[in-house]
Amino acid sequence: MGRWFLMIAAVNGVLAVCLGAFGAHALKDILSSQLLSAYQTAVQYQFYHLLALALVGVMASIPHKNENPLSLWISGWCFTVGIALFCGSLYGLALGAPRWIGPITPVGGLCFILGWVSLIYWLFRAKSIQ
């Protein structure tokens, strides 16, 4: 499980750097300030949550005694789905996707929140982390 989350985080790292550079260089003169701000928000949240996903991947790779990895698994997948929905919808909206994509953004935000809550739950229950 940990290896997959680390690979997904690494792929998101490549994507976030490429998309950030694309936004900073190719889109700055094309998009309105409001759309560019939404695009930059997507890049920032993608970076924040790929780091969280990498942290989950590292923690899931370390053997822990008597601890259920389910909440780590939930956390990792919530971060992954959150990146796809939240960041993906903001990228899409900034680049001219149909407006009906807009309501997907808060669903991705909810996934981020659930990922953090699940991670907090796992940390409270983890007996092997001092």
Instruction: Give pTM, 2 decimals.
Output: 0.93
Q: Cα separation of 52 and 57, whole Å?
A: 9
The pLDDT-based confidence of 1 (bands split at 50, 70, 90) is confident
pLDDT in tens, 51-93: 999 999 999 998 876 577 899 999 999 999 999 999 999 999 9
Name the residue ranges covered by the structural domains of the chain. 2-125
Count of residues making up the chain: 130
- For 45-66, letters b (16+ CB in 10 Å) and e give bbbebbebbbbbbebbeeebee
Instruction: At 57, list the tokens.
Output: 């991947």
